[in-house]
Structure 1
């Protein structure tokens, strides 16, 4: 049975493993080669910045400690990334009005920079949207769960917490 894109039907475990092991490195390579828009090039953005920016886009202003937990890095690492991105006007940090000891990170309000960040991240989002639109809610949930389980297995963790489906996922 073929394991090329567009394959339908059934795959043995061995065929699925082969397909994923051949596909994932290509996927990661393509993500790493996603060109950074001109207005952001001076910031020397890397894939690790993409993850941080995606969290801010999806979740809005977020405390440094929460970003560190989501990115699975030390808060000092996030602080360094935020400082670097802040110097280039990509993100802003401010004290939490409810607890002045906490630092909240947000995407910049500068429209040109926000458009550049959106452009950098939108390609991947459009690709996932197209792929997931072609799947049933059950297929989407199965795929997401499989990727989460794979990540946990590679990291040597126990079963990850399942991601709660949104209303759109159940549609």
Structure 2
């Protein structure tokens, strides 16, 4: 399949902003739909988990146990929101809250041993797809791509909250 087939754009000429917008507006709903169809592992189905849970579990899976404050910073939400999510997941037994060995007053959150493989499986398809997309890029190109997605996400939020220009 040629690049033109995958993106809808002719690779022999520069992609203009409007062509890029058109291509992405057509592509993103398909990406989101496929992502939403990622099945929840059988071990986790009964808990009715949502994407917000997967994001929290992804940080714990990739980065290991973290404090609620660290999770809130990474997820860019309030610590109270993370506390609620952690409380919910802890109640299901999916995560453990333990004392930090370096500071016994501090609590850290980690994935319960029996659920590590289920979380890995849930993340697996996305990890493979992102590796396929990102590996051919240079580190600078990866940074540009990720930064672009962040700007896009912020612009969507700004627009929804009346701070953007639909221009």
Could you list the structure 1 runs, at least 4 aligned residues long, displaced by more than 6 angstroms after superposition.
none
Contact (CA 8 Å) 1:94, 1:104: kept in 2 or not?
Answer: yes
Structure 1 residue aligned with 2:101: 97
- Kept in 1, the 8 Å contact 2:61–2:116? The answer is no
Structure 2 spans left out of the alignment, 5+ residues: 159-167
The answer to whether the Cα contact below 8 Å between 1:43 and 1:84 also exists between their aligned partners in 2 is no
Aligned twin of 2:71: 67
Q: 1:43 aligns to what SS in structure 2? A: coil
Equivalent residue, structure 2, for 1:107? 111
2:56 maps to which of 36, 52, 60: 52
Q: 2-side partners of 1:4 and 1:47: how far apart? A: 30
For 1:4-83, list aligned pairs within 5 A.
4-6=5-7, 7=9, 8-9=11-12, 10-83=14-87
CA separation of 1:18 and 1:54: change in aligned 2, threshold 3 A: same
- Measured in 2, the distance between the counterparts of 1:19 and 1:4 equals 11
Deviations 1:100-125 (A, max 9, x none): 44321111122xx2111100001000
In 1, the alpha carbon distance for the partners of 2:53 and 2:5 equals 31
Distance (whole Å) between structure 1 residues aligned to residue 86 and residue 4 of structure 2: 41
In structure 1, stretches of 5+ residues that fail to align are 157-171
Q: CA RMSD in A?
A: 2.2
Query: Could you state the TM-score of these two structures normalised by the residue count of structure 1?
Result: 0.79
SS in 1 for 2:6: coil
- How many residues are aligned here? 154
* 8 Å contact from structure 1 (residues 3, 15) kept in 2: no
